[in-house]
C-alpha cells in the first residue's frame, strides 16, 4: 500500500511539474508573439513612412528636372537625387535590419522556457 501511495504522490508531483512547465511555456509564447506583433507593426509603419518620403523626394527631383535649362543642370539634379536615394535606402535597410533583430530577440522567452522543460 505504501508503494502505491508513493507512486501516486510521484505521479501527482510530475503532473504538477508538467502543468507548471506548460503554463510557463504558454506565457512565454504569448509574450513572444505579442512582442513580435509589435515589431511587425513597427516595421510596417516605418516602411510606410519611408515610402512616403521617397515619393516626395522623387516628385521634388522631377520638379527640379522640369525647371532645368541646361544639360549640366539635369546632370546635377540627377546626381543629387541619386546620392540622396542611396543614402536613404542604406539608412533604411540598416534600420529595418535592427528592427528585425529585435523581433528575433522576442523569441528568447520561448527558448528560456523550453530549456527549463528539458
Q: What is the pLDDT of residue 27?
A: 78
Cell of 25: 511555456
* Domain encompassing residue 12: 2-117
Provide the 10 A C-beta neighbour count for residue 38.
Answer: 13
Please tell me whether the overall predicted TM-score, pTM, comes out greater than 0.85 for this model: no
Q: What is the pLDDT of residue 112?
A: 65
Whole-angstrom Cα distance, residue 114 to residue 70?
67
- Which stretches within the chain are classed as H helix? 2-67, 71-105, 108-117
Q: What's the structural domain count of the chain?
A: 1
Q: What is the pLDDT of residue 118?
A: 58
Q: Are 30 and 106 in contact (CB under 8 A)?
A: no
Q: What is the CATH number of the domain that holds 42?
A: 1.10.287
Residues of the chain falling short of pLDDT 70: 1, 8, 11, 15, 18-22, 25, 109-118
Amino acid at each position: 500500500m505504501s508503494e502505491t501511495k508513493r507512486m501516486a504522490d510521484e505521479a501527482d508531483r510530475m503532473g504538477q511539474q508538467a502543468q507548471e512547465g506548460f503554463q510557463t511555456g504558454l506565457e512565454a509564447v504569448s509574450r513572444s508573439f505579442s512582442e513580435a506583433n509589435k515589431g511587425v507593426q513597427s516595421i510596417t509603419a516605418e516602411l510606410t513612412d519611408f515610402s512616403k518620403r521617397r515619393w516626395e523626394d522623387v516628385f521634388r527631383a522631377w520638379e527640379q528636372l522640369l525647371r532645368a535649362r541646361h544639360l549640366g543642370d539635369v546632370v546635377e539634379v540627377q546626381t543629387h537625387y541619386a546620392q540622396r536615394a542611396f543614402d536613404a535606402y542604406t539608412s533604411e535597410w540598416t534600420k529595418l535590419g535592427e528592427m528585425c533583430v529585435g523581433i528575433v530577440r522576442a523569441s528568447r522567452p520561448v527558448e528560456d522556457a523550453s530549456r527549463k522543460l528539458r
